[in-house]
Amino acid sequence: MSCPHSHIEAALDRWNECHWHIHQIEANYHSPDRFRYSFNSFIRAIKEIPQILKMELQNHRKYSAVLKPLINSLNSNELLSTLYKKRNFLVHQGMLNILSYGVAGTTEGRGIKIAVGFKVEPYETTEEAYEKFKYLLRKNKIIRYAVGPDCDSSPMIRREWKLPELSIELLEAAVSAWKLCGEVISEIIIQLGGSALELSFSCRHDPEKVKTMVFNQKEFFESVDGEKTDA
């Protein structure tokens, strides 16, 4: 008897590739172009999974009765079909219509200490937004002491990417889409006589840490307060 996975080797490979793209999305979260390239690659790969599954399974005896309806459930899923439709839009119109939300403030220990809404433009890196934040604080000492760091905290900017049509943020959308595909592939493997796939994505990074960029406290004191600190 053949291994159940051997029937869908190419689809499993594409699904693993999607996992890799999610790590790219995490790593490039603060650079608009690189974020967009990573997200596009993810959608391109995940969009191919139903087609590959159909090609690999069309001659299987269970195809019409069981496997095809399972594969079709991917196309009828609301999140996946929105992402599939949005792919062309993302490629051709860039990030202009993607919403970029930001807050700036300070972080202390494990979490955010103070945060206020701060516009992070969809075309700018978080480092660029931080330069604007420091410029604002340099000019306004009241805001600086309200939201800037003290000796126990560090400056930070937290940003999020969202499509207007999806209520969830794009990294979350990618992980959810990967899990949805995984559930269907897992069900297919069970139908082929194998056991369920591992879907926990335990290697993903803490989404709060991904979204938050923490900057150097000493550099802030020097460049905003004009303090010279001895190293």
Comparison of 18 and 104: residue with beta carbon closer to Zn ion: 18
- The residue whose Cβ lies closest to Zn ion is 203
In the bound complex, what is the minimum distance in angstroms from residue 210's beta carbon to Zn ion? 13
Enumerate residues 178-207 that contact Zn ion by CB under 5 A: 203
CB 161 within 8 A of CB 35: yes
- Residues in contact with 159: Cβ distance below 8 Å, sequence separation at least 6, in sequence order: 29, 30, 100, 101, 102, 120, 126, 129, 211, 213
In the bound complex, what is the minimum distance in angstroms from residue 175's beta carbon to Zn ion? 11
- Residues in contact with 4: Cβ distance below 8 Å, sequence separation at least 6, in sequence order: 189, 192, 193, 194
Comparison of 1 and 203: residue with beta carbon closer to Zn ion: 203
Distance CA 12, CA 6 (A): 9
In the bound complex, what is the minimum distance in angstroms from residue 178's beta carbon to Zn ion? 10
In the bound complex, what is the minimum distance in angstroms from residue 23's beta carbon to Zn ion? 5
Q: How far is residue 93 CA from its own chain's centroid?
A: 19
Comparison of 195 and 200: residue with beta carbon closer to Zn ion: 200
- Closest C-alpha among 167, 161, 150 to residue 121: 161
- How many residues sit in the footprint of Zn ion (CB under 5 A)? 1
In the bound complex, what is the minimum distance in angstroms from residue 33's beta carbon to Zn ion? 23
Comparison of 70 and 177: residue with beta carbon closer to Zn ion: 177
Enumerate residues 85-104 that contact Zn ion by CB under 5 A: none
- Closest C-alpha among 211, 137, 139, 127 to residue 168: 211
CA atoms within 13 A on the CB side of 14: 20
Length of the chain: 231
Residues found near Zn ion in the complex (CB under 5 A): 203
